């Protein structure tokens, strides 16, 4: 098909040309005397992105899922209780992993389209006088439904209850896109991946661990080998990796971290909010459709999940967009299959770029019989963006 594919799934995201070029390298000796320079640059850059002066970042050749496992297995023992809310496919999968690893999960099932219920977390933690709950899980940005949860609120709940449980945060689709403060929010394990806000291909699992979380590796009895933080920590301390690192991706990461520093994290968060608000204007004011996220407190600045009207299959809209317009939209996952399509608006993105998703989704919806007003999404987004001061 002529023309480029427009990629608007919420990860993998578009890789900037600069980062692409940085990854075209001759392979080199990862045990050379020069190699520690790269490791050091990455560690310092990730500390800035996590806002973690006190946290230790780790990079695994894996995806985000691998770091879910690293976070759990390095801190917990079989039968340990963890508290987790389930409100979308990714919060579900993390819980599923906990159960498969032999942890006991206090699952708080919530309506999909909402996020972590602070009041229920508060009740559970306040009544856990024995401190049987060892870890609290938060999926910061549920990519399946376009919902962002209040991590700082969970930290407050833990502190008010005087509860020592570790705070684990999945920031796979929020890191470097939505405000996240590792130190300030007392996060113990933050799990992410390379293919979203970091603007790289998939292939790196990114983790940040607090000293408290790292300490618990001495008592944690879950089995681990490849993801053993002890081994990684010892090797990283000398500037190396315990096994062959994904060199090209590491060079890409150095470049993307430079880009993040140049733009500035706060500006990046503001840009993501501004772009997301334009998409929401297209959906709600232009198309008169609903988001999966139930109310503004849950709106995600990295992905919008757009409900299709009854009687229409969201998968048809996605197929039409792809086959006819070379536009990749995100699918409805699990119980949302067929009910929605998603526009990812994270990473290397601007207004005009994002207009391609809005215009293309609009054409695909019209082709599938959804009676939106032609041009209304583009008009509403343009109206919003033109009237905003630049971020
Ligand atoms: N958590 C969230 C919120 C995600 O969006 C994803 C993937 O999209 C994952 C976890 C799993 O990450 P990965 O696909 O990198 O293993």
Out of 13, 71, 90, give the residue to mutate to test ligand 1, the one with the largest number of ligand atoms within 8 Å of its CB: 90
**Residues 6+ positions from 310 with CB-CB distance below 8 Å:** none
**Residues 6+ positions from 242 with CB-CB distance below 8 Å:** 231, 232, 234, 235
- Rounded to 10 degrees, the C-alpha dihedral 169/189/164/184 comes to -80
- Ligand 1 center from residue 84 Cα (angstroms): 16
The token pair that represents 287 in the structure block: 């198309």
Q: Is the CB of 360 under 6 A from ligand 1?
A: no
- Ligand 1 center from residue 154 Cα (angstroms): 21
Cis peptide before 245 (omega within 30 of 0): no
Task: Give the residue among 138, 142, 172, 175 at the shortest CA–CA distance from 157.
Answer: 138
- Rounded to 10 degrees, the C-alpha dihedral 231/236/240/243 comes to 30
Q: DSSP assignment, residue 286?
A: I
Q: At what angle do helices 247-263 and 265-280 cross, to 10 degrees?
A: 80
Atom of ligand 1 nearest to the CA of 144: 5
pLDDT of amino acid 390: 73
Atom of ligand 1 nearest to the CA of 140: 3
Q: Is the CB of 90 under 6 A from ligand 1?
A: yes
**Helix/strand/coil percentages in the chain, nearest 5:** 40, 15, 40
**Residues 6+ positions from 389 with CB-CB distance below 8 Å:** none
**pLDDT tens profile 139-179:** 999 999 999 999 999 999 999 999 999 999 999 999 999 99
- Rounded to 10 degrees, the C-alpha dihedral 337/338/340/346 comes to 60
Segments of the chain scoring below 70 in pLDDT: 391
- Ligand 1 center from residue 3 Cα (angstroms): 29
Write the CA distances from 293 to 46, 141, 179, 268, 371, integer angstroms.
30, 11, 18, 22, 22
- Ligand 1 center from residue 310 Cα (angstroms): 28
Give per-residue burial for 189-216: e unless 16+ CB within 10 Å, then b.
Answer: bbbbbbbbbbbbbebbbbbbbbeebbeb
Task: Give the residue among 273, 320, 324, 336 at the shortest CA–CA distance from 301.
Answer: 273
Residue listed under structure tokens 């215009």: 359
Rounded CA separation 119/209 (Å): 26
Out of 143, 168, 303, give the residue to mutate to test ligand 1, the one with the largest number of ligand atoms within 8 Å of its CB: 143
330-335 contacts: CB < 8 A, separation 24 or more? Answer: 330/8, 330/9, 330/10, 330/143, 330/303, 330/305, 332/144, 332/305, 333/88, 333/89, 333/144, 334/89, 334/92, 334/144, 335/112
pLDDT of amino acid 389: 85
pLDDT of amino acid 52: 98
**pLDDT tens profile 37-75:** 999 999 999 999 999 999 999 999 999 999 999 999 999
pTM here? 0.98
Atom of ligand 1 nearest to the CA of 202: 15
DSSP H or E run through 159: helix 151-160
Residue listed under structure tokens 């939106």: 372
Atom of ligand 1 nearest to the CA of 193: 15
Q: Is the CB of 139 under 6 A from ligand 1?
A: yes
Q: At what angle do helices 351-367 and 314-325 cross, to 10 degrees?
A: 110
Residue listed under structure tokens 């006991």: 104
Burial classification of residue 379, based on how many CB atoms lie within 10 Å of its CB (0-12 exposed, 13-18 middle, 19 or more buried):
middle
- Ligand 1 center from residue 62 Cα (angstroms): 11
- Ligand 1 center from residue 92 Cα (angstroms): 11
Atom of ligand 1 nearest to the CA of 141: 3
pLDDT of amino acid 171: 98
Rounded CA separation 274/96 (Å): 34
DSSP H or E run through 194: none
The token pair that represents 380 in the structure block: 């509403």
Q: Is the CB of 70 under 6 A from ligand 1?
A: no
Task: Give the residue among 299, 340, 347 at the shortest CA–CA distance from 146.
Answer: 299
User: What's the mean pLDDT when you consider all of the chain?
Assistant: 97
Q: Is the CB of 143 under 6 A from ligand 1?
A: yes
Q: Is the CB of 194 under 6 A from ligand 1?
A: no
Rounded CA separation 384/195 (Å): 28
pLDDT of amino acid 391: 64
């Amino acid at each position: 098909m002529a023309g480029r594919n427009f990629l608007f799934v919420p990860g993998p995201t578009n890789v900037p040309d600069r980062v692409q070029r940085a990854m075209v390298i001759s392979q080199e000796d990862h045990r050379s005397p020069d190699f520690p320079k790269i490791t050091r640059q990455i560690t310092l850059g990730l500390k800035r992105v996590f806002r973690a002066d006190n946290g230790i970042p780790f990079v695994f050749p894996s995806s985000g899922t691998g770091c879910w496992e690293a976070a759990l297995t390095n801190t917990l023992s079989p039968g340990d209780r963890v508290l987790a809310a389930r409100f979308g496919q990714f919060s579900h999968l993390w819980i599923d992993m906990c159960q498969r690893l032999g942890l006991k999960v206090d699952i708080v099932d919530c309506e999909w389209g909402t996020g972590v219920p602070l009041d229920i977390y508060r009740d559970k933690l306040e009544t856990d006088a024995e401190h049987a709950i060892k870890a609290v899980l938060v999926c910061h940005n549920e990519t399946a439904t376009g919902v962002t949860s209040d991590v700082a609120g969970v930290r407050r709940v833990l502190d008010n209850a005087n509860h020592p449980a570790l705070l684990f945060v999945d920031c796979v689709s929020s890191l470097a896109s939505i405000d996240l403060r590792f130190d300030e929010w007392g996060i113990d394990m933050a799990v992410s991946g390379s293919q979203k806000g970091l603007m790289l291909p998939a292939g790196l699992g990114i983790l940040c661990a607090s000293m408290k979380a790292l300490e618990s590796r001495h008592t944690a009895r879950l089995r681990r080998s490849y993801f053993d933080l002890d081994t990684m920590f010892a090797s990283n301390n000398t500037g190396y990796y315990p096994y062959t690192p994904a060199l090209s991706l590491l060079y890409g990461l150095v470049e993307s971290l430079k880009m993040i520093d140049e733009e500035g994290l706060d500006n990046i968060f503001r840009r993501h909010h501004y772009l997301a608000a334009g998409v929401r204007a297209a959906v709600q004011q232009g198309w008169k459709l609903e988001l999966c996220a139930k109310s503004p407190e849950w709106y995600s600045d990295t992905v919008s999940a757009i409900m299709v009207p009854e009687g229409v299959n969201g998968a048809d809209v996605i197929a039409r967009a792809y086959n006819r317009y070379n536009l990749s939209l995100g699918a409805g996952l699990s119980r949302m299959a067929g009910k929605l399509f998603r526009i990812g608006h994270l990473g290397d993105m601007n207004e005009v770029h994002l207009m391609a998703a809005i215009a293309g989704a609009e054409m695909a919806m019209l082709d599938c019989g959804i009676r939106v007003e032609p041009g209304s999404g583009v008009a509403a987004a343009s109206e919003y963006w033109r009237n905003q001061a630049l971020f």
